Structure 1
Amino acid sequence: MTKPEIATAFSNGEFDKAKNFIADDAIWEVVEEDKFIGKNAIVENCNQVGQYFKSVTTKFKTLNVISEANKVAINGTAEFIRDGKRVSFVSACDLYEFNDSDQIQKITSYCIQSK
């Protein structure tokens, strides 16, 4: 997978596709919410988020993928629906930094929930 494909998979909740490309000492910061240090902590959080995704219908929309050298930026939206009703709608931007082994070294996520 290319760096943009890895990043897009992660941003769209396809964690199983992306988890083998996460560096052991990676950091994922969800700005103003949480920080996960190390691959194990990131994968554990992905597993929890993945369980939530199974409980709702998810509609991800990728709006832009910008890639340069070892960095990828992705912005888009996610809509979560349960029993035909919108549970949540998020506008997000994820910034990925890759190491020289093409593994995710750092993710910075900005997530804005609509009211």
Structure 2
Amino acid sequence: MSGATREGTEYAVPAGVLGLKGPVEKPAPGTLPLRGDLAHIALAGSHLAAHYVIPHQRTVGAAGAELRLAPRADSEAFTTLAAGSRFELLDVAGEWVWGCPGPQGPSGWCRASELATEGA
């Protein structure tokens, strides 16, 4: 993906924006939507990842959503997203989804059932 743009998205990557210029400090877990295997497309010009993902726009359900660092019930929730707020889904693993409210974070795992049903 060398400077390509993805038309029709909020996170189009402008031509020439790719090309990291040296080491970048690794953000703390749960901050930016960045993992070793993937990252939010908006981070393509500033952080290196194996894959960049264009998020699927979702909405947090009526009870809110608890973000966790791991996709497990015994992983402590570090923040709660308000009901009706935006959730950018980046990955799905069974009953768990990984994402963020936006490219600035925070990012984490929540149960898919904590998101509003599409089209509802």
Q: Tell me, yes or no, whether TM beats 0.5.
A: no
Report which of the two structures shows the higher radius of gyration computed on alpha carbons: 2
Which structure features the higher share of strand residues? Answer: 1
TM-score w.r.t. the length of structure 1 is: 0.30
Which structure features the higher share of helix residues? Answer: 1
Bigger relative contact order (CA 8 A; separation at least 6): 1
